[in-house]
Every structure is written in structure tokens, then in C-alpha cells.
Structure 1
Amino acid sequence: MTKIIFASRDDRSFVENGNKLALKFDDRGLIPVVTTCATSGQVLMQAWMNDEAVEKTIETGEAHYFSRSRSELWHKGATSGEFQIVKDFRTDCDQDSLWLVVDQKGGKCCHVGHPSCFYRQIPFGETVEGEVTIK
């Protein structure tokens, strides 16, 4: 594997308008990534990547993340069979967040068996006292 060299972030205009990858990782070496389904457009999950996860995703065309709970690289689907095949990979204008568009293999993204990790709805537009019930 060739190590990716991320471009300098010294010039704001270059970061925002240039053509070089100059990602901004946080103080833990992580960057947030939102993953959506290429077919439905549905948000599947939000996770984190470190530089190695970005490199592996680019190299293999399959989603790799960094697991904060296990503090290790995580190849999505390696143990579950629920692989994510990358169809598009983007960074935002500030290069401080990422967006993956994937084909979700196996039909389930969430580790508890749902097609999306965002399967519960939070009520809004009403006065709520006490604990909030999600659907």
C-alpha cells in the first residue's frame, strides 16, 4: 500500500477550492463520515475515519472506518458480511468531514440488524416534560 500524503492546510483558499486532499483530522486523528445508500439515498450511518481508514477505503473501494470503542481499524462487513462497496467518496468545503455513498451488501448496515443505524425517530414540535420517548 502506498501511503497517502495529505496536502498542507496552510492556505484556506487552497483547502476550499484546490484539487488536493487536505483533510482536517481532529485532535484524536479522526474525521467524521456520513454514509448513505447509493440506491435509496437513505443515511445508513455516521462513523469516524483516521488516515489509515481513508487510505484503505481509497485503495480497496470498500468502506473502512476507525472504531472509537475498540480503538482499531474496522473494515465494514469483515465479520458480518455486510460490506459497503464505495460508489462515491467526497469531502466537504472545509475538508473536515466526509461523505461515502455505498452499495450496502447483505441489506443490513446496523450492528443490531436494521438497514440503517438511524431507525429511531425523535419527536419534535411539541412541548415535552421528563423523559423523551423515541419511536
Structure 2
Amino acid sequence: MSDASLPAEIAAAVQFDRDGLVAAIAQQHDTGEVLMLAWMNRAALSETLATGDVCYWSRSRQKLWRKGETSGQRQRLVELRVDCDGDTLLLLVDQTGVACHTGRRNCFFRAWRNGHLDTIAEVLVDPKTLYGF
């Protein structure tokens, strides 16, 4: 999908960084649970708005990352919010299954407590089942 289809009002509001990326926080729309942080470029944002299925930019693979394409753990966009500076997006989503590649519901499964990191959420789905590795 071409980034030419990015609505002008969104294109003007979003401040992409020097690498052409903007931070995108995914939050479960009905519970408020913060699921993950990822990055979007113009093409990913355009595709997300056009299809309603969340698409990110994978910095490690240098390509579009259609959330759940491999694992089935999709995110459906409910609402897009742009912060006051335009440099962060909040995606209110309906998450199917787990959001984290570790098999946990969200990516924030470690908490700094009493001087060390505690794991506060268990694996719900074995990553080997999700990704075959």
C-alpha cells in the first residue's frame, strides 16, 4: 500500500523522526491494558488506516510487519490517537490472543521491585507454537 493514501490531516499531524518512523503504543481498547510499543512508517500507518488491521515497521527486518500475519495474534484498530507533539501514536486495539512474541499477553511483563526485575506475567502461549521456532 502506498503512503500516498495517508490522509492529509494525519500526514500533517504526525511528526515522523529522521528515519521516517513514529512510536506507536498499542493499548487494549476495553481494558486500558498497555500491550506493546512498536514503530510505524508512513506506509504502515496508511495500511493500518485503510484496512483496520494494525501494521508496523520492523526495524530489525526493515520491512512492514503486519501484526499477527504469522502468529494469528492480530490487532484490529478501534481508534487512533495522536499525542500533543505528534511524535507518538496511541492505537486503541482489539487484540486477538497474546501481543508479545514471548507468548505473554503484553510486552511489559517485568517490573522493577525491591532492587531487581520480577517477572509478573507468565507465558500463555509457547512461542514455538506461535512462530515455529
Class of the TM-score when normalised by the shorter of the 2 chains: 0.7 to 0.9
Match of 2:86 among 95, 106, 109: 95
Equivalents in 2 of 1:5, 1:65: separation in Å? 14
SS of the aligned residue for 2:18 comes to coil
Structure label with greater radius of gyration: 1
Structure 1 alignment gaps of length 5 or more? 8-19
Calculate the TM-score normalised by the size of structure 2. 0.80
> How many residue pairs align between the two structures?
115
| Distance in 1 of aligned mates of 2:72 and 2:83 | 29
Structure 2 unmatched ranges of 5 or more = 119-133
1 or 2, which has the higher strand percentage? 2
Tell me the residue number matched to 2:129: none
In the alignment, which residue of structure 1 is the partner of 2:112?
122
Other structure's SS at 1:117 match: coil
Contact 2:23 2:87 (C-alpha < 8 Å) held by counterparts: yes
CA root-mean-square deviation: 1.6
Which residue in 1 is equivalent to 2:62? Answer: 71
- What amino acid maps onto 1:54 in structure 2? L
| Identical aligned residues as a percent | 43
Match of 1:32 among 16, 23, 26: 23
Moved over 4 A (4+): none
Q: Give how far 1:40 is off.
A: 1.3
Higher helix fraction (1 or 2):
2
